[in-house]
Amino acid sequence: MKRITIKDVAREAGVSITTVSHALSGQGVMKPETRDRVLEVAKSMQYIPDWNGRNLKAGETGTVGFFTASIRGYYGILVDSMYEECHASGYEMEVFMTDNGDSLLRILLSGRVDGAIILHSGFLKNHEKLLLDSELPTVFLDREIGKSHVSSVLFDSYQTGRMAAEYLYSLGHRRMMTLKGSDTFDGIERQRGFEDYLNEKGCPLDPGYSLRGDFDRWVAYGEMKRFLENRKSLPDAIFAANDDSAFGCMKALSEEGYKIPEDVSVLGCDDIELSQWYVPALTTICTHIGEQGIDSMRELVNLIGGKSRGTVQWINGQIVERASCRQALTAMK
């Protein structure tokens, strides 16, 4: 099928190409009935604007982008909170999903968006340098950068990991297990903080008790099932790097006849809505996901408008106590 061009729309509407461009971009002065007619013709012809051409003429798109490789789990909360703040600021938002850093960079440099929020482990240092050189207003959610046109809004995941270890340690637990997150900023930092605290307390994490979780309930479920099938000693407590992997862990334990928290305490992270409805209700660390979405979008709008010079913002977590953790029996004596 032949691609409809702006010339085709102009010919059908009986106006100039400039009039079509102004009608579509909201610029210029024209009669309301002319603008309405052009928009109706463009819609009926299923015209798709040439974003690159529009950028050269208008200088802006009125659209910002969120770039990621997944919107599973807590990402849905993140996207919703971003969109609400975006809409309130008068922008439209597009979500771009790709697992390829090169593809992500091409979209970023194509001029389709006025600014970007990025949460993507496949966006590497070489991609990062080219983006920084482009001076596109950007907010990262997975690396610490603060420059004239770039900011970061980050969970303090290192302190979150320490908080998890300190909490379980305070309950009297000494033999602990982790279900690690993926090789992302948050996954790496949560694990590092957890291990550092235990090392300082003289009860380092046994490598055999550090399992893959990948922020995924089915990965965590499979890893926990294999661990239990090998008949290794059950840990006193388990820290899952996110709530989703905690659910997978709890399912595996339940299927093998273990009770939570009577046989083992389980601590999650993020405090997604399902955590309070799970049985037993999951003790977790609230990372304020919605706050990250709102703050990152607000910062991006400020960068686009020249109201920010680039900052690094840290969001602290807090323990939410429910029913999946309890005091160790040895500590109660």
| 155-211 pLDDT, tens digit each | 999 999 999 999 999 999 999 999 999 999 999 999 999 999 999 999 999 999 999
DSSP string of 109-132, one letter each residue = HTT--SEEEEE-TT--HHHHHHHH
* Confidence band for 26, pLDDT divided at 50, 70 and 90: low
Is a pLDDT exceeding 60 seen at residue 33?
yes
Classify strands 63-68 and 92-97 as parallel, antiparallel or unpaired: parallel
Q: Place 46 in a pLDDT band, splitting at 50, 70 and 90.
A: confident
Which residue in the block uniquely carries the two structure tokens 């009926």? Answer: 44
204-208: list long-range contacts, CB under 8 Å, 24+ apart.
205/176, 205/177, 205/178, 206/175, 208/232
- Name residue, tokens 């059950």: 234
Q: Are 149 and 139 in contact (CB under 8 A)?
A: no
User: Is the Cα torsion angle 79, 47, 113, 58 positive or negative in sign?
Assistant: negative
Could you give the CA distance from residue 266 to residue 176 in angstroms, rounded to a whole number? 10
Residue type, 297: M
- Strand-pair category, 318-320 with 284-286: antiparallel
Query: 45 in helix, strand or coil?
Result: coil
HEC profile of 130-165: HHHHHCCCEEECCCCCCECCEEEEEECHHHHHHHHH
User: Is pLDDT above 70 for 56?
Assistant: no
The tokens 């799970």 sit on which residue?
278
Among the residue ranges 24-28, 38-42, 56-60, the one predicted with the least confidence is: 56-60
Decide if 98 contacts 69 (C-beta within 8 A).
Answer: yes
Least confident of 23-37, 46-60, 182-196: 46-60
CA 123, 128, 130, 131 torsion-angle sign: positive
Please state the rounded mean pLDDT for residues 126-146: 94
* Whole-number CA gyration radius for the chain: 25
Closest residue by Cα to residue 100 from 133, 69, 142:
69
Sheet holding 92-97, edge to edge: 92-97, 63-68, 115-119, 138-140, 150-155, 312-315
Q: Counting Cβ atoms within 10 Å, is residue 22 exposed (0-12), middle (13-18) or buried (19+)?
A: buried
Q: How far is Cα of residue 204 from the mean position of the Cα atoms in its chain? A: 30
pLDDT of 284-304, one tens digit each? 999 999 999 999 999 999 999
Copy the structure tokens of residue 278.
């799970």
